[in-house]
Amino acid sequence: MEPHEFEHGGARFEVCFERVAEGWIGRIRREGDETAHIMAFPDGPGYDPDDVRGSLIAGCEAAVAAMDQAPPTRH
């Protein structure tokens, strides 16, 4: 599946999708940042089987919006 690019809060993001045995993996990377956020989408409820790409994109864009609101963690 082709990567998807989008903008949120003035930053550009790219999502690369990978099909795995259990479902889909989305790797979200902010432009200029080497860190990727990994989203897992298991087969079954959670995305539309008739529009897998659209469902995965919507999930990743929603995740980015939620990440912006979450304070950074400290380890």
Q: Give the mean pLDDT of 7-12.
A: 91
Q: Give the mean pLDDT of 14-21.
A: 95
pTM of the predicted model over 0.75: yes
Task: Indicate if the pLDDT at residue 66 is higher than 90.
Answer: no
How much is the pLDDT for 73? 65
Residue 73 burial (10 A CB sphere; 0-12, 13-18, 19+)? exposed
Residue 64 burial (10 A CB sphere; 0-12, 13-18, 19+)? buried
Q: Give the mean pLDDT of 27-42.
A: 90
Task: Indicate if the pLDDT at residue 71 is higher than 70.
Answer: no
Of the pLDDT bands very low, low, confident and very high (cuts 50, 70, 90), residue 75 is low
Average pLDDT, the chain: 87
